[in-house]
């Protein structure tokens, strides 16, 4: 299998088979919190893709050149959270200064994902992940791509959920089911549907 095939497998795995929200159950808070409107769901999704890709790159370097050589892998969580939070803060400042338009659409969501467990999740999983031959660990480019595709997977699910919930608002539901209860039921059914992807052999 060539490298393109490898990327395809990685994308399918990150988006559908091992989706961060519906298969790994990470990042549930924004999944339920920011999925009320399609616009904000798309904004949040873009912000997550952006942060996950950047965080994957930086944390890979921190892991490889700092944590492994000094044999302090057990501090991974602290080091990664520190890195991700600082990175997001930094990026937020840069965007606010240089791209006000982007800041307006993305900015509100950036602080929300500084400590999003999906972002930390992808950083940690990158350090233990293997390519499809189950031998080669992820290199720098693999990590970035995996971060990107995981973000895309998050966005796909979030936007789908927002679409469903906007339709649910119009539906004639029993009063006790309106809002969060039906959202949780929808989330459960979506997770079951995504469970079907687990049987795929790529």
Residues of this chain that interact with other proteins (CB under 8 A) are: 62, 66, 70, 72, 75, 78-79, 82-83, 86, 89-90, 93-94, 96-98
Q: Which of 67, 31, 52 is nearest to 162 (CA)?
A: 31
* Tokens at 67, concatenated: 């944590």
Nearest approach, Cβ of residue 97 and other proteins (Å): 4
* Tokens at 157, concatenated: 């699910």
Among left, alpha and beta (phi > 0; psi -120 to 50; other), residue 130 is beta
The residue among 47 and 62 lying less far from other proteins, judged by its C-beta, is 62
Helical (H) or strand (E) element with 192: helix 180-195
The residue among 29 and 91 lying less far from other proteins, judged by its C-beta, is 91
The residue among 71 and 176 lying less far from other proteins, judged by its C-beta, is 71
* Tokens at 194, concatenated: 């995504």
Nearest approach, Cβ of residue 84 and other proteins (Å): 10
Nearest approach, Cβ of residue 128 and other proteins (Å): 20
The residue among 173 and 184 lying less far from other proteins, judged by its C-beta, is 173
Q: Which residues contact 97 (CB under 8 A, 6 or more apart)?
A: none
Nearest approach, Cβ of residue 113 and other proteins (Å): 17
């Amino acid at each position: 299998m060539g490298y393109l095939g490898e990327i395809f497998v990685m994308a399918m795995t990150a988006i559908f088979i091992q989706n961060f929200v519906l298969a790994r159950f990470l990042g549930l808070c924004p999944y339920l919190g920011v999925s009320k409107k399609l616009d904000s769901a798309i904004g949040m999704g873009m912000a997550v893709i952006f942060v996950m890709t950047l965080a994957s790159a930086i944390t890979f370097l921190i892991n490889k050149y700092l944590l492994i050589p000094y044999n302090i892998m057990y501090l991974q969580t602290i080091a990664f959270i520190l890195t991700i939070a600082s990175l997001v803060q930094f990026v937020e400042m840069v965007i606010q200064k240089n791209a006000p338009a982007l800041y307006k659409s993305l900015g509100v969501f950036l602080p929300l994902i500084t400590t999003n467990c999906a972002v930390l999740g992808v950083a940690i999983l990158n350090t233990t992940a293997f390519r499809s031959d189950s031998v080669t660990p992820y290199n720098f480019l693999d990590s970035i791509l995996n971060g990107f595709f995981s973000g895309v997977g998050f966005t796909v699910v979030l936007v789908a959920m927002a679409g469903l919930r906007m339709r649910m608002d119009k539906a004639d539901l029993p009063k006790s089911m309106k809002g969060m209860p039906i959202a949780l039921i929808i989330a459960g059914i979506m997770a079951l549907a995504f469970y079907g992807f687990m049987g795929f052999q790529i």
